[in-house]
Amino acid sequence: MAPLVVLAVVTGLTRLIGWLTGYAWLDSWPHTTALGLAAMFAMTSGAHFAQPKRNELIAMVPPQFPNAGAMVTLTGVLEAASAVGLLLPPFPRVAALCLFLLLLIMFPANVRAAKQDVGVKTMPLPLRTVAQAIFLGACAIVAVG
């Protein structure tokens, strides 16, 4: 639930600041959504490296994938790199598209975790699916511009 809150709060506050101040860059849904996604993925990427969340994420990786620990590290690096990419002027659209694809690729691990009661247990699957749709929508807003 925390990633959804971070996305909503950062996006909403920066958009409000843009509206109140007239600062054109922040008076844009794609720009403020990119800031919200960057904050969210900066936060979530840290879970890939810090205990106890790291072990919970490793438990979510389907067993057919080799070296679950390496997979969790890789996705953490990709999330962190994309969070930075969302903030650098030439890269937000590409970073958002990469995150969109990463979210799609990782969603089966969330389904498996919910069905088998393993890993991170922050939301039941129906709510997690809604949150995932919101994350995908946010990435689409930035990718389309």
Give the model's pLDDT for residue 41: 97
Percent of the chain with pLDDT over 90: 70
Say whether pLDDT at 13 is over 90: yes
Q: How far is CA 38 from CA 16, 111, 127, 142, in A?
A: 17, 24, 22, 11
Give the model's pLDDT for residue 33: 98
Nearest Cα neighbor of 76 from 54, 50, 48, 99 is: 48
Instruction: Return the SS3 of 7.
Output: helix
Cα distance between residue 19 and residue 26, in whole Å: 7
Give the model's pLDDT for residue 113: 83
Please write the tens of the pLDDT for every residue from 74-120: 999 999 999 999 999 999 999 999 999 999 998 988 888 888 777 77
